Amino acid sequence: MGKTNRPLRMLLDRSIVVTEEDKAIIAKLIEQGHTIDLIDLRDYDIHGGTRFFRMFSLKYLPMAMASARRDKANAAAKKKSDTPKKEV
């Protein structure tokens, strides 16, 4: 599979990348051009942020990616519509 034209940056808890299949999924996404940082979040009781998606396994990753792409596209469209038009 080739590179994606809309790469995403992802921060994932290392504890959801368990099996060899999980590792293969991560490797495939990186190969497609996505940036994935794996960190240990097990020591924390609460993870917060405006762009957090609650995910207990990688089976939810496609849904999270679709949501992120939608948000990214909506933000770009809003920015474009907010830009003042030049008068000729």
Specify the amino acid at residue 58.
L
Domains in the chain: boundaries: 9-82
Q: What angle do CA 63, 20, 41 make, to 5 degrees?
A: 60
Strands 9-13, 35-39: parallel, antiparallel or unpaired by DSSP? parallel
Answer yes or no: are the C-beta atoms of 8 and 61 closer than 8 Å.
no
Which DSSP category does 37 fall into? Answer: E
Stated pTM of the model: 0.71
Summarised one tens digit per residue, pLDDT across range 33-88 is 999 999 988 778 777 777 777 777 888 888 888 888 888 888 878 777 776 766 66
- Phi-psi label, residue 32: left if phi above 0, alpha if psi -120 to 50, beta otherwise: alpha
